[in-house]
Chains A and B, each alone.
Chain A
Amino acid sequence: MADFSDPVILARIQFAFTVSFHIIFPATSIGLASFLAFVQWRWMQTREEVYLTLFDFWIKPFAVVFGMGVVSGLMLSYEFGTNWSVFADKAGPVIGPLMGYEVMTAFFVEAGFLGVMLFGRDKVGPRLHFFATFMVAAGTLGSAFWILSVNSWMQTPAGYGMNEAGQFIPLSWMEVIFNPSFPYRFVHMVFAAYLTTALVVAATAAYHLRRARQNRTTRKMFSLAMWIIAIVAPLQILAGDQHGLNTYEHQPAKVAALEGHFKTRKAAPEYIFGWPNMETGEIDYAVSIPYLGSWILTHDFNAEVVGLDQFPREDWPNVNILFWSFRIMVGLGLLFFTLGCWGLWKRYRGQLYDSPRLAQFALMLGPTGYIAVLCGWVTTEVGRQPYTIYGLLRTSDSVSPVAAPAVATSLAAIVVVYLFVFGLGTLYTLRLLAKDPPDSPAEQQRGLLDQGGRRAVRIWRLIWPGREV
């Protein structure tokens, strides 16, 4: 069991807790910023009122979520120093400049243009206002680029040397930034953010759709979100598969643990369920599909896959956590894919807005994108253990010379404040989402009505000319 008088364990819990809270907000703001830029761009193109209504509806939750993201991210940028100072000293010359670029190219861009985006519509013209929204969206993606570069370097370090003070020093910045796992991780995370946001938007629309099915703003919201899910969910499965192959190449112990492969063998099965037993090296209560494990990792049914027996016991990550976090993530991913397909089918049948069961399903999946994101991060971060820099610097050698009571006290304070503040933040955000979006005038968006509806409007006009429908 975890030893709570050990500063390493406490520092790990503290970092895991703060980073897990933090990732919720960027996962939303990356997706929402792009969504807002998209609807504003469509409004510039079509001048259809509905896009502006959507923009106004989503900018409020965006502001709240963005604010929570900024303050929780600020905490993280200092935590490297307070709790992980040896790591900061050793890895600073490599990861520090990447984080410096993140602040300069992304954080400042987001924060600088946010004021104009939120409050400036009446002060600057529509073009400049769109530019501000666009810059905020670009800034969120820039942030993700640099931070994932840092994280990927810690997973698959490249382009570095060591100096006499024991620090990692950069030899090639291209190799550092575009380290072997970076492209996969970046794409996987951006898709995750888009998908998570689309699920929230779809659930919000589904909630309102059940109450007022004719609201054109709600319909548009639902339609856009379902398009994003239908497109991104399958792409995410492909990206995840590619990421998995990359991880298998560079971090085989992580993959062995998340697949529950204790022994190296050919034609390995894929465990669907089971309970990894780290004592006996078996999967208890296993339900498995033969050959599938080999196929997933190598795309060859009979290939040999590496098991944990290839690694010293002290280099194993925690198998139980990885095994389950990975399965929850993949399982949810398949549900998202199902939702996307179902939406496409109903759209094809012309019943996208008329299926209570589809709306119910979308509503249920609304918050699950976050669970998938968190499980994904748990998989990759717990899988990196027992190292902070994979294979090079152990977690136990990275921690600050700070006494356990200090870490324990700050951990307790952080937990209390975070639960309180971000709990209420979530409540306020939900309250905003529960407000009915105003309906949009029919005139400007006939495209939203189905054929039958349009015919009805025309007939209605004959009876009562000039009357708004």
Chain B
Amino acid sequence: MDYALIWALILAIGVFVYVALDGFDLGVGILFPLLEDEQERDTAIGAIAPVWDGNETWLVLGGGGLLAVFPLAYSVIFPALYVPLIAMLLALVFRGVAFEFRVHAGRHKRFWDHAFFGGSLVAAFAQGISLGAWLQGIEVVGRSYSGAWWDWLTPFSVATGLALVFGYALLGAAWLNLKTEGALNARVNRLIIPLAAATIGFIVAVSLWTPFMNERYAARWFTFPTMIYALPVPLFVAATVFTLWQSLKNDNALRAFLSAELLFLLCYIGIGISVWPHIVPTAITIHDAAGPDKSLGFLLVGAVVLIPLILAYTAAAYWIFRGKVKHGGYHH
């Protein structure tokens, strides 16, 4: 193991934690229009209010960490994804303030409900588009991005965008199913199966599409010996879908939520198998992009101590706010 490899792993985990955590609170936003009334929306907000700040911080770690340890990748990927990234950030601005403002907005509360929905939807879609645009490959000449500024928009990236919107909505529904009771609970419970079906449809479509985009990806999945590592992924996906369905039937909300999250993890691993060892597919490997050892080592000392600590008190915060949210949620 060298520094570049360790850091690739840490960043990969960091980004996944972001997807797993902010995914469900973005999903709650995407589901907002389907909720019945103001009280249900308040309760739904209450189910994420104490944790969303912490969830979103993992995105800062993703951006900041990339700059710190793979500066070349950061300086190539970000100009390539210029438009979707700016769109995502502005959407997150809307969503982030909608949380705080709607309580104080008086008769304009409805407006911030819409802002919260719109922000969550655009942020999720932009993240999915960024993922697709990254996965389909980025043009590089020398040390910089050389493509045009609309390269990110392709049928494939739109498909990944939609995949993430439905996927996050699934996580959001599973989270609300876990955290709420009564009519709201029944409502989101009914949404999980159709959302899961849509998500799986997109997973299958994107998975079949990806190998055709690039022969490197195809070789990963369809030639011996790498397909030995790749093949279990679709099998586990199938098993997870079955578990999700079982836990819904048995009314095990926690298990249903974790199954939905596991679905994300498996897709994430699948993408990792495709792109490895590139960090800018298919132009720059993690070793080409890594900063000097002195930078990676310095930050690693902190990461080894602090990331477990952060995970520990994040877990503690989730524990403190465990259990069902009462009507109206939390106030300050």
Cβ–Cβ contact A413 & B90, under 8 A: yes
Out of B77, B93, B321, B331, name the residue touching A417 (CB < 8 Å): B93
User: Considering the chains assembled together, what is the distance between the CA atoms of A73 and B86 in angstroms?
Assistant: 13
Cβ–Cβ contact A89 & B72, under 8 A: yes
Report the minimal beta-carbon distance from A209 to chain B, rounded to whole angstroms. 23
Nearest B-chain residue to A64, judged by Cβ: B100
User: Considering the chains assembled together, what is the distance between the CA atoms of A105 and B292 in angstroms?
Assistant: 22
Count of A-B contacts judged by CB separation below 8 Å: 253
- How big is chain B's contact interface, by range? 35 or more
Cβ–Cβ contact B89 & A97, under 8 A: no
Report the minimal beta-carbon distance from B18 to chain A, rounded to whole angstroms. 12
Cβ–Cβ contact A63 & B59, under 8 A: no
Given the contacts A89-B75, A417-B94, A103 and B61 also touching, CB distance less than 8 Å:
yes
User: Considering the chains assembled together, what is the distance between the CA atoms of A233 and B108 in angstroms?
Assistant: 40
Name B62-99 residues within 8 Å CB distance of A: 63-69, 71-72, 74-79, 82-83, 85-86, 89-90, 92-94, 96-97, 99
Main secondary structure on chain B at its contact with chain A?
helix
Name A73-115 residues within 8 Å CB distance of B: 73-75, 77-78, 80-82, 85-86, 88-97, 99-105, 107-108, 110-115
Main secondary structure on chain A at its contact with chain B?
helix
Cβ–Cβ contact B82 & A111, under 8 A: no
Name A329-366 residues within 8 Å CB distance of B: none
Out of A92, A110, A173, name the residue touching B75 (CB < 8 Å): A92
Cβ–Cβ contact B64 & A400, under 8 A: no
Given the contacts A102-B64, A120-B320, A169-B292, A89 and B71 also touching, CB distance less than 8 Å:
yes
Out of B86, B303, B317, name the residue touching A82 (CB < 8 Å): B86
User: Considering the chains assembled together, what is the distance between the CA atoms of A114 and B50 in angstroms?
Assistant: 8
How many chain A residues have a CB neighbour from B under 8 Å?
Answer: 76
Cβ–Cβ contact A85 & B67, under 8 A: no
User: Considering the chains assembled together, what is the distance between the CA atoms of A70 and B66 in angstroms?
Assistant: 19
Given the contacts A92-B291, A108-B54, A71 and B92 also touching, CB distance less than 8 Å:
yes
Nearest A-chain residue to B74, judged by Cβ: A81
Q: Flag whether A428 is at the interface (Cβ < 8 A).
A: yes
Report the minimal beta-carbon distance from A48 to chain B, rounded to whole angstroms. 22
Give every chain B residue within 8 A of A120 (Cβ-Cβ).
Answer: 50, 320-321
Cβ–Cβ contact A424 & B71, under 8 A: no
Cβ–Cβ contact B144 & A115, under 8 A: no
Give every chain B residue within 8 A of A171 (Cβ-Cβ).
Answer: 294
Cβ–Cβ contact B291 & A96, under 8 A: yes
Report the minimal beta-carbon distance from B280 to chain A, rounded to whole angstroms. 12
Cβ–Cβ contact A100 & B299, under 8 A: yes
Out of B68, B89, B100, B306, name the residue touching A78 (CB < 8 Å): B89
**Interface of B with A (CB < 8 Å)?**
49-51, 53-54, 56-57, 59-61, 63-69, 71-72, 74-79, 82-83, 85-86, 89-90, 92-94, 96-97, 99-101, 104-105, 143-146, 149, 291-292, 294-295, 298-299, 302-303, 306-307, 310, 313-314, 317, 320-321, 330-332
7 A-B residue pairs with CB within 8 Å: A89-B144, A96-B74, A100-B299, A104-B303, A112-B314, A417-B94, A432-B104
A80-B67, A115-B49, A119-B321 given. 20 additional CB < 8 A pairs? A59-B332, A60-B332, A68-B97, A71-B97, A72-B93, A74-B93, A78-B78, A89-B143, A96-B299, A97-B299, A99-B67, A99-B68, A100-B299, A111-B56, A113-B313, A115-B51, A124-B320, A170-B298, A173-B294, A410-B86
Q: Which 9 pairs from chain A and chain B are nearest by CB?
A: A92-B71, A81-B78, A96-B68, A115-B50, A85-B75, A89-B75, A71-B96, A100-B68, A93-B291
